[in-house]
Amino acid sequence: MKKERVIVIGAGAAGLMAAGQAALAGAEVIVLEKKGRPGRKIAISGKGRCNLTNAENMGNVIENYPGNGRFLHGILREFDNVRLREFFAYYGVETKVERGGRVFPLSDDAEQIVEALLKYIMDAGVELATEQTVEEVLLQEGEVRGVRLSNGKIIEGKSVIICTGGGSYPATGSNGDGYRMARKLGHKVITPRPSLVPMRTYEDWVTQVQGLALRNVEASLWYGEKKQKTEFGEMLFTHFGVSGPIILTLSRWAGEALAKGNKVQLTINLKPALTSEQLDQRVQRDFKKFLNKQFKNSLDEMLPKSLIPVIIQLSEIPPERAVNSISREERKRLVQLLQVLPLTITETLPLAAAIVTAGGVDVKEIDPKTMASKKVQGIFWAGEVVDVDGVTGGYNLQAAFAMGYRAGRAAGEYVLTYQNA
């Protein structure tokens, strides 16, 4: 009996997972990847370590997907973090859990994840074709008949799973092709925008501390005259502004607020474990200890060395002032600054610099039970091309794998109806 073909566009996390599942369901499967090697974005994720999921209980995980988390509810329950780790263990990749529930390969080598996925699709009998750019999906009487490549070649198939990624890291192949295909197929595309991206600040003092990483700090986002979001963890100062895990998470809301014309401020609490009263007492103890020193030499035990000149400048206390002559009002101002260090966000970096894309194919036009298009029979969607996005910590790759798992199974079962007809 001739097997009907499933065509998978894109050899990333969602595409490779989908391809294997479609083949295991009984379909002939080909994966078309425009780059010379598959899994390029996986290989660079997590600074080359690949934060592939999060160990948090999946029952509580939806809140970590600000972009259409409810759509993922059943998808993540079917293929959760436990199953994902078991999957990679089966293919020889042991994993470990780090701070914040982040899950990495024990080897800290993202290439192991790519190699495991390639072994998985090869074992399932999937054909992988690299350096193949899909120009368009071909339809006949409203049903899929295949795809046309940029070289004019036509590849026939009864089903197409589009896993082209979003618009972030275009060098890996995610250059927005999927959005173009979606629009041509009649799908609505929610305007893509950067999510999980560094942010630029108006204040140029950040250049004095570029490269400084802070741990266990609290960053809060303010707009509309209210504190909107707060994150606790790690951040990094750059030559243009701020980055790091908690900044990337806040960037999604900052971008939305800026797009609406809001003034956006970021405040950093350098000592979130202390109340303002406790911090004031700590400062008083340090001042007593360094009573006869100059102010600029009294903060070494409280702050990173590179940050001290910035804090001194912003406190408006003369650096040469003797500690014993600092007034109560000045000390209170210093305490306030240490817990509400202000920065003005002027913009997020562009989509190409983002780790993840927010926006994409409208989830209202996708069946969450199958990842099938509600517009065109035989079309399935998975991964970042879909309007779903999560915070940092492995959530986005988990979503991509889970969507790919469901889409692959459904597409494979879909073409079986033609094989058995």
In this structure, are 50 and 160 located in the same domain?
yes
In this structure, are 330 and 205 located in the same domain?
yes
In this structure, are 48 and 147 located in the same domain?
yes
- In this prediction, residue 421 carries a pLDDT of 60
In this structure, are 156 and 66 located in the same domain?
yes
Among 298, 327, 349, give the residue marking a domain's end: 349
What total of structural domains would you count in the chain?
2
Among 296, 327, 349, give the residue marking a domain's end: 349
CATH for 361: 3.50.50.60
- In this prediction, residue 171 carries a pLDDT of 72
Give percent of the chain with pLDDT exceeding 70.
99
In this structure, are 21 and 169 located in the same domain?
yes
pLDDT, tens digit, for every residue of 12-45? Answer: 999 999 999 999 999 999 999 999 999 999 999 9
pLDDT, tens digit, for every residue of 96-142? Answer: 999 989 999 999 999 999 999 999 999 999 999 999 999 999 999 88
> Would you mind telling me the total number of residues written for the chain in this entry?
421
pLDDT, tens digit, for every residue of 367-400? Answer: 999 999 999 999 999 999 999 999 999 999 999 9
In this structure, are 162 and 30 located in the same domain?
yes
Confidence of residue 1 (pLDDT cuts 50, 70, 90): low
In this structure, are 274 and 318 located in the same domain?
yes
pLDDT, tens digit, for every residue of 223-265? Answer: 988 999 999 999 999 999 999 999 999 999 999 999 999 999 9
Look at residue 212 and tell me whether its pLDDT is greater than 80: yes
In this structure, are 40 and 77 located in the same domain?
yes
Token pair 């660079």 is at which residue?
Answer: 44
- In this prediction, residue 170 carries a pLDDT of 74
Mean predicted confidence (pLDDT) in 212-222:
98
Q: What count of Cα atoms within 13 Å lies in the side-chain half-sphere of residue 268? A: 26
In this structure, are 399 and 414 located in the same domain?
yes
In this structure, are 139 and 175 located in the same domain?
yes
Among 324, 349, 374, give the residue marking a domain's end: 349
CATH for 322: 1.10.8.50
- In this prediction, residue 174 carries a pLDDT of 73
Look at residue 172 and tell me whether its pLDDT is greater than 80: no
Domain that holds residue 343: 198-349
- In this prediction, residue 96 carries a pLDDT of 98
Look at residue 327 and tell me whether its pLDDT is greater than 80: yes
Mean predicted confidence (pLDDT) in 332-351:
97
In this structure, are 78 and 209 located in the same domain?
no
pLDDT, tens digit, for every residue of 176-201? Answer: 899 999 999 999 999 999 989 999 99
Query: Any idea what DSSP says for residue 67?
Result: B
Alpha helices per DSSP H over 260-348: 276-289, 308-315, 328-339
Pick 420 or 401 by higher pLDDT: 401
In this structure, are 273 and 410 located in the same domain?
no
Mean pLDDT score across all residues of the chain: 95
